[in-house]
């Protein structure tokens, strides 16, 4: 069984090593290192050293594209978006937004380079974190009702080539299918590059089943040749429509366990450790126990120390949240889970 945490914000190797040592002392055996556009530009060798230090301590190491192109999860800015506005998504009403388009060749090439760089760090797994199209509520502004993306020139041309007609301005079933197929095509290409470089692939889908948030049919991802780990992050405290931690985490844990079992993959669930209010420790315990009890192969939390180092998403009581997760990890290990 794998127990891990995400780790971010520290690029001093000595400091990182101290944190890694305490993670190991607390019973963790895996760590995800964020690898943003900034990291690739300025900290590539530093990150390779930190990944190596993690491996030296027995951790299974993951690396993710932290908010790269603003189409993956994360609290990081994107230089690609600023430098390449023509490669960004366009909404259904014609507005260009600050998020790259999966179908644009410039972004594809940028991601090929990112993938080779990330695999070159020496990580065991590249973690494709929450790949998504334009999600209106993730922007600090209002959009017209029903706005969707992407309807840029590249997407419109590709849609017309596939369906033999102009891409509609409404998000029809064909549009949703096109978006899903485009996202899968992107992931398949990047996962193939990863596999060729000798690393494994994990894809973490948002805990939803609609085209806007990722994929409606998760099995279309599960059958991909180069996928190794199927993950999702049922963060009960931030996703609209989530009820209790037990039911929300339980539903998605069962989903990934079932799909992983049928397709020879490993299953993974992420436990919320950010943006939690006071007295959230029992919810974290419940969520972690639920994931373990449902039989997943890997449990992670986002993120270490209750995200205390990122004030905009830190838990109200980060130490209690972090401690609750670690206590459940230790209890599970004592049970032999």
Better pLDDT: 140 or 239: 239
Segment 139-178, tens digit of pLDDT:
988 898 999 999 999 999 999 999 999 999 999 999 999 9
Q: How far is CA 277 from CA 20, 206, 273, 291, 317, in A?
A: 27, 22, 10, 21, 7
Over range 184-194, report the average pLDDT.
99
Q: Residue 8 corresponds to which tokens in the numbers above?
A: 């971010």
Distance CA 15, CA 37 (A): 22
Over range 192-200, report the average pLDDT.
99
Segment 122-133, tens digit of pLDDT:
999 999 999 999
Query: How does DSSP classify residue 336?
Result: T
Quickly count: other Cβ atoms within 10 Å of residue 6's Cβ. Answer: 24
Distance CA 36, CA 14 (A): 20
Task: Find out whether 317 and 300 touch, Cβ atoms under 8 Å.
Answer: no
Give the 3-state secondary structure of residue 3: strand
Segment 94-119, tens digit of pLDDT:
999 999 999 999 999 999 999 999 99
Distance CA 254, CA 237 (A): 19
pTM over 0.95: yes
Q: Residue 50 corresponds to which tokens in the numbers above?
A: 């930190």
Residue 18: band (very low, low, confident or very high) from pLDDT cuts 50, 70, 90: very high
Distance CA 16, CA 21 (A): 9
Can you list the domains of the chain with their CATH numbers? Answer: 2-75+105-133+184-335 (3.20.20.80)
Angle of helix 281-293 relative to helix 318-335, nearest 10 degrees, comes to: 30
Average pLDDT, the chain: 97
Residue 138: band (very low, low, confident or very high) from pLDDT cuts 50, 70, 90: confident
Task: Find out whether 287 and 245 touch, Cβ atoms under 8 Å.
Answer: yes
Residue 241 reports pLDDT greater than 90: no
Residue 210 reports pLDDT greater than 80: no
**How much is the pLDDT for 75?**
96
**How much is the pLDDT for 212?**
67
Residue 214: band (very low, low, confident or very high) from pLDDT cuts 50, 70, 90: confident
Distance CA 223, CA 203 (A): 12
DSSP annotation string for 18-79: HHHHHHHHTT--EEEEE--HHHHHH-HHHHHHHHHHHHHTT-EEEEE-TTGGGSSSSS---H
Distance CA 134, CA 141 (A): 13
**How much is the pLDDT for 56?**
98
Give the 3-state secondary structure of residue 304: helix
Closest CA to 200 of 112, 111, 115: 115
Over range 253-275, report the average pLDDT.
99
């Amino acid at each position: 069984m794998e127990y891990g945490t995400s780790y971010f914000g520290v690029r001093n190797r000595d400091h990182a090593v101290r944190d890694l040592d305490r993670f190991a002392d607390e019973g963790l055996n895996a760590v995800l290192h964020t690898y943003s556009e900034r990291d690739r530009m300025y900290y590539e060798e530093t990150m390779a050293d930190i990944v190596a230090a993690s491996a030296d301590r027995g951790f299974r190491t993951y690396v993710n594209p932290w908010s790269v192109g603003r189409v993956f999860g994360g609290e990081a800015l994107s230089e690609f978006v600023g430098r390449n506005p023509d490669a960004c998504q366009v909404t259904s009403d014609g507005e260009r937004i600050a998020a790259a388009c999966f179908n644009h060749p410039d972004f594809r090439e940028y991601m090929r380079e990112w993938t080779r760089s990330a695999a070159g760090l020496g990580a065991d797994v590249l973690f494709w974190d929450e790949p998504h199209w334009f999600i209106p509520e993730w922007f600090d502004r209002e959009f017209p009702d029903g706005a969707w993306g992407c309807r840029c020139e590249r997407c419109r041309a590709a849609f017309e080539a596939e369906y033999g007609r102009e891409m509609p301005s409404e998000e029809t079933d064909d549009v949703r299918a096109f978006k899903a197929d485009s996202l899968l095509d992107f992931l398949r290409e990047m996962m193939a590059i990863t596999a060729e470089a000798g690393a494994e692939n994990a894809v973490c889908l948002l805990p939803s089943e609609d085209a806007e948030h990722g994929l409606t049919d998760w099995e279309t991802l599960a059958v991909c040749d180069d996928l190794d780990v199927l993950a999702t992050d049922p963060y009960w405290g931030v996703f609209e429509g989530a009820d209790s931690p037990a039911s929300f985490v339980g539903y998605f844990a069962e989903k990934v366990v079932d799909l992983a079992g049928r397709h020879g993959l490993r299953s993974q669930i992420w436990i919320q450790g950010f943006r939690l209010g006071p007295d959230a420790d029992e919810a974290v315990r419940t969520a972690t126990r639920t994931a373990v009890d449902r039989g997943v192969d890997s449990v992670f939390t986002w993120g270490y120390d209750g995200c205390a180092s990122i004030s905009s998403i830190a838990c109200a009581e980060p130490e209690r949240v972090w401690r609750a997760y670690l206590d459940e990890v230790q209890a599970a290990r004592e049970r032999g889970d």
